[in-house]
Amino acid sequence: MIVCVCNNVSEKKIQSAVAMGASTMADLREQLEVGTCCGKCASCARKVMRDCLNDRAEQASGFQNFVQQLHFQPAPMAA
Ligand code: FES
């Protein structure tokens, strides 16, 4: 889906930018020029970025829980 018509920025481009470290609208403006023309896309771009950041945070949290479980599993008892 195209988020920014003026600059032809898709949802996937925003997701890629977030994957590469973008975390603010200023980052998106600088990297993709989102919202730098008419500005009508700003709220949609912000939502796409936040959803992506939330997904990444949930994935990181899930991975941390997985690693913690690996570290804190009790050693099997010797028979
Ligand atoms: S639609 Fe993004 S600046 Fe116009």
Task: Note the pLDDT tens digit of each residue in 21-53.
Answer: 999 999 999 999 999 999 999 999 999 999 999
Planar angle of CA 24, 27, 32, nearest 5 degrees: 125
Task: Supply the pTM of this predicted model.
Answer: 0.78
Residue 49, CA atoms < 13 Å, CB-side half-sphere: 23
pLDDT of residue 44: 97
Is 60's pLDDT higher than 70? yes
Q: Does residue 2 contact residue 34 with C-beta atoms inside 8 Å?
A: no
Number of structural domains, the chain? 1
Which residue among 7, 29, 33, 44 is best mutated to probe the pocket of ligand 1, counting the most ligand atoms within 8 A of its Cβ? 7
Q: What is the mean pLDDT of residues 71-76?
A: 72
Domain that holds residue 21: 2-60
Report residue 4: phi and psi, to 5°: -115, 105
DSSP-derived 3-state class of residue 54: helix
| Ligand 1 binding pocket includes 47 (Cβ within 6 Å) | no
Within a domain: 43: yes
Higher-confidence residue of 4 and 62: namely 4
Q: What is the CATH number of the domain that holds 25?
A: 1.10.10.1100
Instruction: Tell me how far apart the alpha carbons of residues 3 and 65 are, in angstroms, rounded to a whole number.
Output: 34
